[in-house]
Chain A
């Protein structure tokens, strides 16, 4: 039976897992024979479900450059790793969401800072092109 040496070696963003799974899917497409053997069913299931879930989250539209840009943009706000990870994974667009993800946001951030965070997040991280094209993010005023 396996031994776990470090059960929390690193946190992964949804984008990293999405990348890994898409690459793995490509590689497996070439090895057609092995995919369907009994032992591989579990891997197929979990890959399918995870990709299905992640493709509907903001991470599906991210790339390494936007992630780097996002982390640089977050530097002045002094957020913890977990908070930055949640902002990266969820791409919050309202103040309420920011307050959920940032601990003690009333004490650490003023209203302008929260607004600034929302602006940075929606600006740096790409959103769903379909949704943004038709409806437009809540911040924008129409016309």
Chain B
């Protein structure tokens, strides 16, 4: 579920933080910049793992702050392809079942990847697995709040950096994974899941 990512960046420490231990000040700046944010093609950054190398700090004319090039490793949430995960059903819509992991919300299981045959109950806005046995068909509802085991089949990264001037769109904040906001907001990182194998789906379906 988590990977270690090696990164390099220049960290700016303002003069009022000079009294602090350099490592701590840098760790705080890096966490401020990256924690809970999605980096394009990398994943959702969680927290700093360690600093591997600190280069010399420089002070540039006109700016009293010090600039330090830092090599560090960051813990990033990025499930690998075909990984099995357990999450909670956030809700269902015509697009499929929306699952959340608490730390990460944008997981969707499209209708074709549900246990077949599946139908969408419009009245209750919930997807149902019409499970056939010899005795007849059971309707298994995928209710909100239920724990669900699914396989990650695809990941989608969308670059949400602000578009330049002259574009119609009001640029959303660069590299942020915000909660649901007005229509235009696209999730920078989405996972596509599947529950179409034996063992996948609501945990209650498979726990005898």
Contacts and interface: CB of A to CB of B under 8 A. Distances in A.
A65 B63 CA distance: 50
Interface stretch (A4-12, A69-77, A120-128): A4-12
Contacts of A45: 36
A42 B103 CA distance: 11
Interface stretch (B42-50, B91-99, B119-127, B181-189): B42-50
Interface in A1-40: 1-14, 16-17, 20-21, 24, 34, 39-40
B39 interface: yes
Contacts of A138: 208
Interface residues of B, number: 47
B40 to A, nearest CB: 9
Contacts of A11: 2-4, 80
Contacts of A46: 35-36, 44-47, 103
A72 to B, nearest CB: 23
Contacts of A53: 101-103
B8 A17 contact: no
Contact of B103 (A8, A9, A50, A97): A50
Interface residues of A, number: 44
Contact of A2 (B7, B43, B82, B103): B7
Interface in B63-110: 71, 73, 75-77, 80, 82-84, 86, 101-103
A121 to B, nearest CB: 14
B99 to A, nearest CB: 12
A17 B102 contact: no
B208 A43 contact: no
Interface string A107-118: 000000000000
B199 A99 contact: yes
A8 B35 contact: no
A12 B75 contact: yes
Contacts of B41: 4, 7
A3 B31 contact: no
A90 B199 contact: no
A11 B34 CA distance: 19
A47 B35 CA distance: 9
B31 A43 contact: yes
Contacts of A6: 5-6
Nearest to B81: A82
Contacts of B80: 11, 82
14 contacts: A3-B8, A3-B9, A5-B7, A5-B8, A8-B3, A21-B46, A42-B37, A43-B31, A46-B36, A46-B45, A47-B46, A53-B101, A90-B86, A96-B206
Interface of A: 1-14, 16-17, 20-21, 24, 34, 39-40, 42-43, 45-47, 49-50, 52-53, 57, 82, 86, 89-90, 94, 96-97, 99-101, 103, 138
**Lowest 3 A-B CB distances belong to which pairs?**
A2-B9, A46-B36, A96-B199
Given A7-B43, A16-B2, 15 more contacts: A1-B9, A4-B5, A5-B7, A7-B3, A7-B5, A9-B4, A14-B1, A20-B47, A24-B47, A40-B28, A40-B31, A42-B36, A43-B31, A43-B35, A100-B199
